[in-house]
Amino acid sequence: MTVTAPQGFEAAGVAVGLKSTGKPDVAVVVNRGPLKVGAAVFTSNRAKANPILWSQQAIQDGVVEAIVLNSGGANCFTGSFGFQTTHQTAEKAAELLGVSAGDVLVCSTGLIGTGDETFRAKVLDGTAQGIAALSADGGVDAARAIMTTDSVSKTSTFQGDGWSIGGMAKGAGMLAPGLATMLVVVTTDAVLTAEQADAHLRAATRVSFDRLDSDGCMSTNDQVSLLVSGASGVTPDEDAFRAALAEVCGDLARRLQADAEGASHDIAIHVVHAASEEDAVEVGRSVARNNLFKAAIFGNDPNWGRVLAAIGTTEAEFDPYRVDVEMNGVRVCSDGGPDRPRDEVDLTPRAVSLVIDLKVGDAEATILTNDLTHDYVHENSAYAS
């Protein structure tokens, strides 16, 4: 049920030919209230797609009535024509729903540079068809309609004490910080103010989507939106809601990681005893972006030297001759020197746990990444995205 699991939401997913495969490619999610609260976070890439430019303005007042999402074209670097397409999409939805266009968010994903007249006509058609097809159990269809190279749709739900959260996500490549090539919509029927929604969303994405770094490439179209209907009538405990939202976002992030293009390993890099959380994140991200380390994991090679070389490129507080490295439970490096033999490490499972102990302080962070594989190279050389 995903985004329609919480009360007060309707959704739909329809096919209008944006995808050459004929699969669903436009999704609509509508908030039936009584609250129409919304919050969103966006890619930090300075080259932003038209839907991002639009949604950043639309979210300012904290009011969101609906969100329209399309796959099959990013509408990025398509000039003022492309921006008008986004604007017209919001206007079309607003007209059919009887709301203000400024309260409609828009998301697009697909090939950069795609956004011509045919694209526009199909997106507008899909918006109308989606609104006509809205239903209280349309969440599954909506989740399918936002898929691009995803092999499965990603959804998650959480049942709180009288309130609930539902979410859907898409993303398989260009997964990097400041968000990934991901579109995420999370809904809740809890009662929240716009300020609370914004604060909770930022807190949750900071430790979930922002710590997923599959391939170091930052997208132009990333957007995570939270829609609040308040239909449960229940005002949740703030800490409980924040934890639940972080859990849903973390679950969706792990599903994105598990379906990352071409990956054969899901790597969790746990950096512990760092001087600060920033240091832990910097170290984890540096290792997550090291192609040599990522290729070694693909080859089931517990190459801790590449881990230390990657740490050495950071500004984090550490002494190379104090660092311990553990892979899948085997300490291969102690105090910056060899410890257990490499062949004790079993890297055949898909899940890989890397623990880097900096022995400096008490802070820690976990970064999620994938290995660098032949399939990654193949999919990203053969698929024009």
Positions annotated as catalytic residues are: 181
Does 275 bind its own copies (CB under 8 A)? Our answer is no
Q: Which is nearer to its own copies, 248 or 316 (CB)?
A: 316
- The span of 19-27, 99-107, 118-126, 217-225 binding its own copies (CB under 8 A) equals 217-225
CB of 222 to its own copies, least distance (A): 11
Residues 82-111 as x/- pattern, contact with its own copies by CB under 8 A: -----------------------------x
CB of 53 to its own copies, least distance (A): 10
- Rounded CA gap, 339 and 331, in Å? 6
Does 112 bind its own copies (CB under 8 A)? Our answer is yes
Using CB under 8 A, which of 113, 193, 203, 340 touches its own copies? 113
Q: Which is nearer to its own copies, 335 or 362 (CB)?
A: 335
Residues 277-316 as x/- pattern, contact with its own copies by CB under 8 A: ------------xxxx--xx-xx-x-xxxx-xxxxxxx--
* Cα–Cα nearest to 70, from 136, 125, 31: 125
Using CB under 8 A, which of 21, 60, 79, 98 touches its own copies? 79
Q: Which is nearer to its own copies, 159 or 291 (CB)?
A: 291
Using CB under 8 A, which of 162, 233, 320, 341 touches its own copies? 320
Does 210 bind its own copies (CB under 8 A)? Our answer is no
CB of 309 to its own copies, least distance (A): 5
Q: Which is nearer to its own copies, 127 or 220 (CB)?
A: 220
- Rounded CA gap, 137 and 122, in Å? 24
Residue 4: both structure tokens together: 């329609």
Q: Which is nearer to its own copies, 28 or 260 (CB)?
A: 260
Using CB under 8 A, which of 41, 64, 76, 249 touches its own copies? 76
The answer for residues whose C-beta is within 8 angstroms of residue 30's C-beta and 6 or more apart is 9, 10, 11, 65, 66, 97, 131, 134
Contact set for its own copies, span 1-40 (CB under 8 A) = none
Q: Which is nearer to its own copies, 148 or 157 (CB)?
A: 148
Which parts of this chain interact with its own copies (CB under 8 A)?
45-48, 74, 76-79, 111-113, 173-174, 178, 215-220, 289-292, 295-296, 298-299, 301, 303-306, 308-314, 318, 320-321, 333, 335-338, 372-374, 376-378, 380-382, 384-385
